[in-house]
Amino acid sequence: MMNRLSLSNFFVNLIFIVYSVICVVPLLILLSVSFTNEQSVFQSGYSLIPQDFSLDAYKYILMGNSPIIRAYGITIFVTLVGTLFHLVISSMFAYSLSRPEVKYRNIVSFLVIFCLLFSGGLVPWYILLSKVLHLKDTIFVLIVPYLVSSVNVMILRNFFRTIPESIIESARIDGSGEFNTFLKLVIPLSTPVLATVGLFVAVFYWNDWFTAALLIENSKLYTLQFLLQSIMNNIAFLQGNSLTVKAAAMQPDETARMATCVLAVGPIVITYPFLQKYFVKGLTLGAVKA
Amino acid sequence: METITIKPKTKKVRRRVPFFSEIIKNKTFYAMMLPGLLFIIVIYYLPMMGVVIAFQQYNPFKGILGSPWVGFKNFEFLFKSDALFQITFNTIFYNVIFLILGIGLALVFAILIDSNGNRFLSGAYKSILLLPYLLSWVVAEYLLFSFLSVDRGILNQMLHFFGIEPISWYSEPIYWRFILPAAYVWKNVGYFAVIFAAGISGISTEYYEAAKMDGANKFQQAIKITIPMLMPITIILILLQVGKIFYAAFGDWGMFYNLPKDSGILFSATNVIDTYVYRSLKVMGDFGMSSAVGLYQSVVGFVLVLISNFFIRRYDKDSALF
């Protein structure tokens, strides 16, 4: 019995080890290529272990007025500001929808949910942002369209509903104003759920290539993901304005591409081990619907 | 006389008052609601009115109000071209495969994770499975390219090792019918597995103890206890996905654009409704065609969500959207 159990356990673990390798190996190959000499990649292709270790790719993409550093700055700004405003607006919105004394909460909640059912589609959205709000080619267009998401408002509203009425009532008796109660009492009680929602929003902003692809033409406002997408087919985006420099020399194109990608995933992969439990918890939050 | 004429007036005023008095009574809450409400009205509801563009020959310089109306011309053109069938077929073809593979494999993974017995390992597997879910499709494009690159990719190196001719993955549509589902599973199976794992941890251990007493092995326990107990959440997940089946990869359509590197040769196997709308707008600047396809998607998508929500409601009221 014991033997059979451990044997099946062995197979279960084997399956997961193989699958985990599938999840992780592509990232390792990426890392390896970024640290390989261009010549060696050219001759023997990509490999899991750098055959001819070299830092050329990183030197190449980080030197001078590199578009990558700029794109990093833009992406970090968009992620931080976007996540912060998303949390502030959504949590206030959700809290007002969670309060039973607010008479129109159900009508407004329906307006929020209806956004999940029907959308005007891409073209009217594009025209709104570019022609009506005139946000095209500004950094705001990367932030503004995603400040509220229906799903997150519903998640937060459902969480706020679970806060015992007696706590809020007692604050009211102590003379606390409604907004003060929200700020000093409700928010601290909700930090776990706010942190989880915030993490997913931050990952969304970090990973967003689509908005920049559609609404950014000014290369100074490229985000990391959009820069990454652009250089896949045209490495010239990486060179900034240094057309004259070392035109003849062998440029580490292939490895520079991979190095850019390493820099783009770096923050997510490095922080993931510390944050993974919030992500795992957060998914089950989302599974609870209106 | 005067007092009599005034009375009905005050009554009338009172009848109007409730809206404003409610706003004033809870002014703090409504002030907190305002930014979010304004946001959804501008960002979600204004574009809903913009769907009229589908019936116009939209000119960016003239705007929605100044562009000429053309009735159903955009749709006529659309339904005559064979693009519509192709993108609709591809969208649904992939989504059905994604749905079956994604949910099926996640169920298996969740059960295996649970049967592992070692809590530390279970946690580690869950985390590793979920990692690809947090990477963008642009990054996935790079990861895939390191495998599929014709002259440098790992896969062709392996084929070479076994003496097989290299395959040009980026110019043969047929391979993408397998590559795309594999990529979808790679990225999303962790998401569903984590949800199922949470469901499993909610199942009372008493059932398993009773089954063990009756001599049921792990496999029998999974079939007779775990899967039936997970059925409600599985059905809800399936119905939610079915509601989004008209949106490529259930809305996360970047894979169809990025993974094949926007390659025209592969369109027969990789073009879906969302990529078609995107390309019509971005590459061709064809507002009319793009918004006609967009409206087609929105309307059919709306009907599908209503249908799926109807069934969710009948099945489990708490999981319904409305």
Q: What is the mean pLDDT of chain A?
A: 84
Predicted TM-score (pTM) of the model is 0.88
Separation in Å, CA of B43 to nearest CA in chain A: 7
Structural domain boundaries enclosing B114: 82-319
B43 touches chain A (CB under 8 A): yes
Between chain A and chain B, how many beta carbons pairs sit less than 8 Å apart? 280
pLDDT score for A5: 60
What one-character-per-residue DSSP string does chain A give? -HHHHHHHHHHHHHHHHHHHHHHHHHHHHHHHHHTB-HHHHHHH---SS-SSB--HHHHHHHSSS-HHHHHHHHHHHHHHHHHHHHHHHHHHHHHHHH-TT-TTHHHHHHHHHHHHH----HHHHHHIIIIIS--TTSGGGGTGGGS--HHHHHHHHHHHHTS-HHHHHHHHHTT--HHHHIIIIIHHHTHHHHHHHHHHHHHHHHH--HHHHHH---GGG--HHHHHHHHHH-GGGGGTT-SSTTSSS---HHHHHHHHHHHHHHHHHHHHHHHHHHHHHHHHHHTS--
Question: Chain A contacts of B233, Cβ < 8 Å?
Answer: 287
Question: From residue A63, how far is each of A27, A35, A247, A253, B240 by CA, in Å?
Answer: 24, 16, 16, 14, 48
A242 pLDDT above the threshold of 50: no
- The dihedral built from the CA positions of residue A206, B32, A163 and A148, taken in this order, carries a sign that is negative
Please name the fold of domain A56-286: MetI-like fold (1.10.3720)
In the stretch 85-124 of chain B, residues with CB closer than 8 A to chain A read 109, 112-113, 115-117, 121, 123
pLDDT score for B1: 42
A207 versus A23: which is more confidently predicted?
A207
pLDDT score for B301: 87
Between chains, do A148 and B40 touch, taking CB under 8 Å as contact? Answer: yes
Between chains, do B37 and A108 touch, taking CB under 8 Å as contact? Answer: yes
pLDDT band at A13 (very low <50, low <70, confident <90, very high): confident
Give 3-state DSSP helix, strand, coil % of chain B, rounded to 5. 80, 0, 20
* Average of per-residue pLDDT across A118-147: 90
* Highest-confidence segment of A190-194, A239-243, B97-101, B204-208: B97-101
B307 touches chain A (CB under 8 A): no
pLDDT band at A289 (very low <50, low <70, confident <90, very high): very low
Q: Which residues pair with B136 in a beta bridge?
A: none
Between chains, do A148 and B128 touch, taking CB under 8 Å as contact? Answer: no
CA distance B54 to A123: 9
Answer whether residue B24 is part of any domain. no
Sorted by sequence, the CB contacts under 8 Å of residue A252 that are 6+ apart come out as A38, A54, A56, A57, A60
B104 versus A54: which is more confidently predicted?
B104
Q: Which CATH number do you get for residue B238?
A: 1.10.3720.10
A99 pLDDT above the threshold of 60: yes
CA distance B314 to A8: 40
B171 touches chain A (CB under 8 A): no
Q: What is the mean pLDDT of chain B?
A: 85
Separation in Å, CA of B308 to nearest CA in chain A: 11
User: How long is chain A?
Assistant: 290
Question: From residue A106, how far is each of A154, B31, B38 by CA, in Å?
Answer: 12, 16, 16
A233 pLDDT above the threshold of 80: no
Q: Which residues pair with B69 in a beta bridge?
A: B56
ipTM of this complex: 0.88
Please classify residue A53 by burial: count the beta carbons closer than 10 Å to its beta carbon, then call 0-12 exposed, 13-18 middle and 19+ buried: exposed
Locate all alpha helices (DSSP H) within B26-72, ordered by sequence: 27-40, 46-49, 63-66
Question: Chain B contacts of A112, Cβ < 8 Å?
Answer: 40
B255 touches chain A (CB under 8 A): no
Question: Chain A contacts of B123, Cβ < 8 Å?
Answer: 277
B265 versus A247: which is more confidently predicted?
B265
* Average of per-residue pLDDT across B205-231: 85
Sorted by sequence, the CB contacts under 8 Å of residue B55 that are 6+ apart come out as B69, B70, B71, B72, B74
Of A97, A125, A287, the CB nearest to B47: A125
B63 touches chain A (CB under 8 A): yes
Report whether A91 contacts A156 (CB < 8 A). yes
CA distance A76 to A202: 10
Between chains, do A233 and B154 touch, taking CB under 8 Å as contact? Answer: no
Question: Chain A contacts of B277, Cβ < 8 Å?
Answer: 121-123
Q: Which residues pair with B56 in a beta bridge?
A: B69
Report whether A32 contacts A50 (CB < 8 A). yes
Please classify residue B120 by burial: count the beta carbons closer than 10 Å to its beta carbon, then call 0-12 exposed, 13-18 middle and 19+ buried: exposed
pLDDT tens, A50-96? 777 888 778 878 876 678 888 999 999 999 999 999 999 999 999 99
Of B39, B261, B305, the CB nearest to A148: B39
pLDDT band at A245 (very low <50, low <70, confident <90, very high): very low
Between chains, do A26 and B146 touch, taking CB under 8 Å as contact? Answer: yes
pLDDT score for A250: 57
* Average of per-residue pLDDT across A168-177: 85
pLDDT score for B259: 92
Separation in Å, CA of A162 to nearest CA in chain B: 15
* Average of per-residue pLDDT across A260-287: 82
* Average of per-residue pLDDT across A14-20: 87
Nearest CA in chain B to A149: B40
What one-character-per-residue DSSP string does B61-117 give? TTHHHHSPB-TTHHHHHHHHSSHHHHHHHHHHHHHHHHHHHHHHHHHHHHHHHHHT-
pLDDT score for A64: 67
What one-character-per-residue DSSP string does B145-186 give? HHHH-TTT-HHHHHHHHTTPPP--GGG-HHHHHHHHHHHHHH
B116 versus A161: which is more confidently predicted?
A161
B61 touches chain A (CB under 8 A): no
pLDDT band at A241 (very low <50, low <70, confident <90, very high): very low
pLDDT score for B3: 47
Q: Which residues pair with A53 in a beta bridge?
A: A36
Separation in Å, CA of A163 to nearest CA in chain B: 17
CA distance A62 to A259: 10
pLDDT tens, A38-63? 777 777 778 777 777 888 778 878 87
B14 pLDDT above the threshold of 60: no
Record the tokens describing residue B119, joined without a space: 């809590």
Residue B246 three-state SS:
coil
Q: How many CB atoms lie within 10 A of CB B198?
A: 18
Q: Look-up: residue for tokens 């359509």? A: B253
B231 touches chain A (CB under 8 A): no
Number of structural domains in chain B = 1
Domain extents in chain A: 56-286
Answer whether residue B55 is part of any domain. no
* Average of per-residue pLDDT across B211-216: 85
pLDDT tens, B229-276? 888 888 888 888 888 888 888 889 999 999 998 888 888 899 999 999
pLDDT score for A9: 78
pLDDT score for A74: 93
Question: Chain A contacts of B131, Cβ < 8 Å?
Answer: 23-24, 269, 272
